[in-house]
Amino acid sequence: MGFFEKVYEVVKRIPKGKVATYGQIARIIGEPRKAKIVGWALHSNPYKGIVPCHRVVNRNGELSGGFAFGGMEIQRKLLEDEGIIFDESGRINLRKYLRKENGSEY
């Protein structure tokens, strides 16, 4: 299984109402240095509709910014629908929403 596939698997496992960082995902997979590659995996050709890219944020708790999957506004709306609150700076409370690394089999 390639690195990309692993990324997709992990992202798909993010529970609703929670988020994960790129570094977090990379760590779960077992390659903490490839945080950037995780971003790459999502940017390149994610399984549209299968991988919840909107739940993946950077370590600041901020969303991707540039292109996402239809627009930043949609992304924010989706997260809000899942119960995630954005602060005035357009960021989310990682303390509360960051997903924990449950028993990963990777």
Binding positions for DNA, rule: CB under 7 A: 3-4, 21-24, 32-40, 42-44, 46, 53, 56, 58-61, 64-69, 89, 91, 94
| Cα→Cα distances 55→1, 15, Å | 23, 9
Q: Which is nearer to DNA, 44 or 102 (CB)?
A: 44
Q: Which is nearer to DNA, 13 or 94 (CB)?
A: 94
Catalytic residue status for 53 = yes
Least CB distance from residue 105 to DNA, whole Å? 22
- Region of 17 please: left (phi>0), alpha (psi -120 to 50) or beta: left
Q: Which of 47, 50, 58 is nearest to 20 (CA)?
A: 58
Q: Which residues participate in catalysis according to the annotation?
A: 53
